[in-house]
Amino acid sequence: MKVITERNTTVRTEILAGFTTFAAMAYILAVNPDILSATGMPKGALITATALLVIGGSLLMALLTHFPFTIGPSIGTATYFAYFLCGKLGFAWQEALSVVFWTGVIFFILIVSGIKKKIVDNISDSLKIGIQCGIGFFIAFVGLKSTGVIVANSNTLVGEGDILSPTVLLVLGSILLMGALTIRRFPGGILLAVVFSTVAGFWIHGLDGQPITHMPTAFVSIPHSVAPLFCQLDWFFPFRHFDKAFAPILSLLLLQMFDVLGALVALTRQAGFVHHGKIMHFSKALSVSALSTMLAGCLGTSTATNFMEASAGVESGGRTGWTAVTVAVLFTIALFFTPLIAIIPNEATAPVLILIGLFLLQGLRFLKFDDFSEAAPALFTMVMIPLTFSIAKGFSLGFLFYVGLKLLSGKRKQLTPITLILGALFIFYFILEAA
């Protein structure tokens, strides 16, 4: 309780902040399982795995850092996991989980060795913005395509779907509602929009003529066992198939580094944990994310990240780990309402992907458009990520474009030795891909 006094807060404030954070991020119990179930993983077990990751990661954050921040599966990497690794590349979900686990291991090694800082420091801010916005376009595109708002078109590659169909109108209306509630800073606005769309789904029929939301078999139940997913990863897949695993691990590693760093910087600034330019317990907080990603691979879900929704709890006064503990308790209780979570349709969760994609695009305002050698590679990166349907390829191409542009425009001095080494590694990556 000493930390509560030191940070000028109260137990009541911390608990209320925990409720606020829970309301803001509870949608993950519906969205993450819905995305990952496309791989053939059982949805009930995914709901349990998602909750256990939030519970375990948040408790670890509270214990090691005393921060009011929460951990959970990343929507961005869940999309990459389901639609690229298991979809486009044809990975079995057990193999994809191995990629998640070893990404966490490598991330942890990079943190404790100090190599992570050197890599991040030698990637320009413009490219960091490029990968952030590129992932935003990627996630939003997946959300629009999965709901029929955008469909394949043989003449133009993509085109609009049946905009006037009831399901598409529901999706568009849900995006509008989420956006409006977010602008009004309504606590739990995303969750409320998901509930609204789910209820509306009882009266809206899909292509099969059936309501898109089915009646639940019960309202409460014992949580589904996580046994079908727990430790089912193919542990040594990256060692047996290095050529197949290298690019996905690189993608997830880059995504996690920028995702976690961006969230931590924003949240610690908001909470007042930055002193003289340094973030309190920064390495510990990063280590929690890495350890949680290892846990995610074992539980059966995508990589872990710091949830920006924790900002709602910080805004409500949360300043200690007791906020995170409260969130963990509430997610434990939520597990007993799995039957209600399981009926939430894709049309209710996909708008969350689209909205999060739009959130990520806000990084554009920090791009230096007056310096073409910085802006062009960033814009190239954010275009190539969704068009190649690969975070690793999009970022690699953008990075090589950045190096080439600096060399040819006489700005060689702006490239550090580590930047040039990274460029050589990306060339090796494309050679490996072509072999």
- Three-class SS string for 319-384? CCHHHHHHHHHHHHHHHHHHHHHHCCCHHHHHHHHHHHHHHHHHHHHHCCCCCHHHHHHHHHHHHH
pLDDT at 266: 72
Query: Average pLDDT, stretch 343-359?
Result: 84
What digits encode the pLDDT tens for the residues 417-435? Answer: 888 988 888 888 777 666 5
Q: What is the distance between the alpha carbons of residues 309 and 288, in angstroms, rounded to a whole number?
A: 17
Cα angle: 163, vertex 85, 130; to 5 degrees: 70
32, 344 contact by CB (below 8 A): no
Mean pLDDT of 174-189: 86
pLDDT computed for residue 70 by the predictor: 95
C-alpha to C-alpha distance for 348 and 200, rounded to whole angstroms: 9
Looking at residue 210, its pLDDT comes to 87
The one-letter code for the residue type at 215 is: M
Place of tokens 């990556």: 429
How much is the pLDDT for 307? 86
- Reported as a single tens digit per residue, the pLDDT across 288-324 is 999 999 999 999 999 999 887 788 788 778 889 999 9
pLDDT-derived band at 25, boundaries 50, 70, 90: confident
Of 318, 219, 324, 254, give the one whose Cα is nearest residue 7.
318
Question: Residue range 262-287: average pLDDT?
Answer: 81
pLDDT confidence of residue 277: 65
The stretch 340-367 carries a mean pLDDT of 84
Cα–Cα distance measured from residue 379 to residue 369, given in angstroms and rounded to the nearest whole number: 10
Which tens digit of pLDDT belongs to each residue from 83-111? Answer: 989 998 899 999 999 999 999 999 999 98
Residue among 68, 18, 27, 73 nearest 330 (CA) = 18
pTM of the model: 0.80
- Give the side-chain half-sphere CA count within 13 A for 335: 21
Backbone angles phi, psi at 340, to 5 degrees: -75, -40
Q: What is the pLDDT of residue 90?
A: 94
Helical pair 125-146 and 346-360, crossing angle rounded to 10 deg: 160
Which tens digit of pLDDT belongs to each residue from 368-422?
899 999 999 999 999 998 888 877 788 889 999 999 999 999 898 888 888 898 8
Q: Is the pLDDT of residue 238 over 90?
A: yes
Give the pLDDT confidence score for residue 41 in this predicted structure: 96
| Residue 168 pLDDT level (bands cut at 50, 70, 90) | very high
For 259-282, what is the mean pLDDT? Answer: 79
Task: Go through the chain and tell me how many residues it has.
Answer: 435
Q: What is the mean pLDDT of the chain?
A: 88
Mean pLDDT of 119-143: 82
Whether the pLDDT of residue 173 is over 90: the answer is: yes
Q: Residue 279: how many CB atoms within 10 A of its CB?
A: 16
CA-CA-CA-CA dihedral for 215, 170, 301, 219, to nearest 10: -20
Distance CA 295, CA 71 (A): 11
44 pLDDT band, cuts 50/70/90, is: very high
